[in-house]
Amino acid sequence: MINWISVLLKKSYYKTKIIITFCSVTFLLVVLMTYTGYVFVKEMYLGQLSEKVNSVSALLASRINRNYLDLLDIGQPTVTTKNYFADIFSTYLNIEPGSHVFIFNKELRIIVHSDTSYLYGAKEPRLKLNEKEIFELGIEHSIASLPFKGDDDNWYLWGFRRLTENFWLGIRESASKLERVDQLAATFTYIGAAGIFFTLLLGLIIAKSISRPVDKLSEYSLQIGKGYFDVKTPQGMKGEFEALASAMNKMKNNLAEYQNEKEKMLAQIAHEIRNPLGGIELLAGLTKEDLQKNGMNTEYLEKIIREIHGLKKLITSFLEYGRPTPASPQKCNISIIVDEALENFTDQLKKKNINVEKRIYEETIRFDRGHLKQIFMNIITNSIELMNNGGNIIIESQSERNNWKISISDNGPGISYEDISSIFEPFFTTKKNGTGLGLAVCKKLCSENKAQITVENNKSGGTKFTISGVIENAGIDH
């Protein structure tokens, strides 16, 4: 789980940060609003209920004749006294039938109760909870208690009013709407959860709207880094991203211009060197012929001529890399071009006992014929030089959706992990007499034809080069 989170943060750091920030802020706001809303509604309801209880207790107290209260001091109330208080209590109970009204004394014993099931002198245990507030009340003053749950699991509220030194009026008012307040809190929670969900969705949309241009610019810079200077600048950029895209486009143009100047200079240097080399080669050849006529040793001249041939080959590679022939893409038959390339290696393949297998499932692609043949020859040369006696080279082509792919695999020694990332760089070579330009030329020619080339080591051993591109509809040209 921790690894998954670390990978997610590494790949989508800002997107994840935006979403987490949005959700965290929303969660805190929802919790705060839910709690505040619940407390506000609850306090408002209890406040109104307390005011009602206090008002009712004051109203009922004002209707009680003090003489009847004095009678209560004498002892158990008579039937007449009970009826008197019942008449007073009924004015309120007719409006609130679920409520109770009663009178109790200092011992918190019931003297008169609207519910006839309460006996004279019975104790109401819950009054003990409000004992301090009850005894601190002044005469003709009222107070309401906190809500509590009765034996029937419903919410109630006490209201108390001190009538005399010895007697208090008590009211048990129903607080049933408190459950609705609790339900309202649950509703707030559901609304909050929905708010968090929509905030998460909004965070994803906002994060995507920010990360999408970043991804486009990242891919754009990656293509520039690979040397694809004809890649188009991402469209649809706004604000700061538009300015960044413009700056990257200028950078691309400057790099392309610098690359072009460098290639021109390389080609010019190669050309200037090749001309005198041709003269040296000619003079060395003539001198060799003269010495041979006189029966003299020509070993040193032969070494000179071999070195000149090596230099000319190197210069040709420079020219191929520095200024390749402009691509002229056309529909090519892969199998035919592979056969043409293999004709150049007949003796070498036979000498090393190397078998070549073709698996051509995608017959045609759009590519410059000469460039494709040169790529095949450079890769096959690389495989043959590295393989020992006996081996296999597999050339395979296939298509998937709108893309084509050609792979050239061998079962040679493969490429070391340290070297594989540098294999397409100019002048990088692991061969004793290599120029380091063969695979760099392959990459260059692929770029000229809007294709890509990659390399990897096979799990079973050997190397696999893959050339890939987009399928285009066009007529077949052999």
Q: What are phi and psi of 102, to 5 degrees?
A: -155, 165
Q: Do 66 and 155 share a domain, yes or no?
A: yes
**Which CATH number covers residue 274?**
1.10.287.130
Please report whether residue 220 resides in a domain: no
Among residues 287, 322, 357, which one ends one of the domains? 322
Q: Do 279 and 160 share a domain, yes or no?
A: no
Q: Do 38 and 167 share a domain, yes or no?
A: yes
What does the pLDDT profile of the chain (478 residues) look like in tens digits?
456 555 545 556 666 777 677 677 777 877 787 778 777 877 888 888 888 888 888 988 988 888 888 888 888 888 888 889 899 888 888 888 878 899 999 888 999 998 888 888 888 888 888 888 899 999 999 998 888 887 788 888 889 999 998 899 999 888 877 777 777 767 777 777 777 777 777 777 777 777 778 788 888 888 777 666 777 888 877 777 788 888 888 888 888 788 778 777 777 777 777 778 778 878 888 887 877 877 788 887 788 888 887 777 777 766 666 666 778 889 999 999 999 999 999 989 999 999 999 998 888 899 999 999 999 999 998 889 888 888 899 999 998 888 999 999 998 888 888 888 888 887 777 776 666 778 888 888 888 888 999 999 988 888 999 999 988 754 444 4
Place of tokens 């260059």: 444
Starting at the earlier edge strand, list the strands of the sheet with 391-400.
Answer: 354-360, 391-400, 403-410, 463-470, 452-457
Question: Using CA atoms, how far apart are residues 375 and 369, in angstroms rounded to an integer?
Answer: 10
Closest CA to 218 of 237, 190, 197: 237
Please report whether residue 210 resides in a domain: no
How many CB atoms lie under 10 A from the CB of residue 302?
A: 12
What integer pLDDT is reported at residue 478 of this predicted model?
Answer: 40
Q: Do 369 and 307 share a domain, yes or no?
A: no
Please report whether residue 318 resides in a domain: yes
Q: Do 285 and 363 share a domain, yes or no?
A: no
Q: Do 246 and 276 share a domain, yes or no?
A: yes
User: For the chain, how many structural domains are there in total?
Assistant: 3
Q: Do 116 and 43 share a domain, yes or no?
A: yes
What integer pLDDT is reported at residue 10 of this predicted model?
Answer: 55
Q: Do 354 and 453 share a domain, yes or no?
A: yes
Please report whether residue 215 resides in a domain: no
Please report whether residue 219 resides in a domain: no
Domain encompassing residue 40: 15-179
Among residues 179, 207, 224, which one ends one of the domains? 179
- pTM passes above 0.85: no
Distances (CA, A) of 98 to 36, 56, 112, 177: 30, 15, 17, 13
What integer pLDDT is reported at residue 474 of this predicted model?
Answer: 41
What integer pLDDT is reported at residue 320 of this predicted model?
Answer: 66
Structure tokens at 392: 């296999």
Longest CA–CA span in the chain (Å) reads: 163
Q: Do 257 and 285 share a domain, yes or no?
A: yes
What integer pLDDT is reported at residue 476 of this predicted model?
Answer: 40
What integer pLDDT is reported at residue 70 of this predicted model?
Answer: 84
Per the CB < 8 A criterion, the answer to whether 5 and 17 are in contact is no
Q: Do 306 and 350 share a domain, yes or no?
A: no
Please report whether residue 421 resides in a domain: yes
Among residues 322, 347, 379, which one ends one of the domains? 322
Per the CB < 8 A criterion, the answer to whether 309 and 355 are in contact is no
Q: Do 158 and 292 share a domain, yes or no?
A: no
Question: Using CA atoms, how far apart are residues 455 and 425, in angstroms rounded to an integer?
Answer: 13
Please report whether residue 371 resides in a domain: yes
**Which CATH number covers residue 404?**
3.30.565.10
Please report whether residue 200 resides in a domain: no
Q: What is the mean pLDDT of the chain?
A: 82
Q: Do 160 and 38 share a domain, yes or no?
A: yes
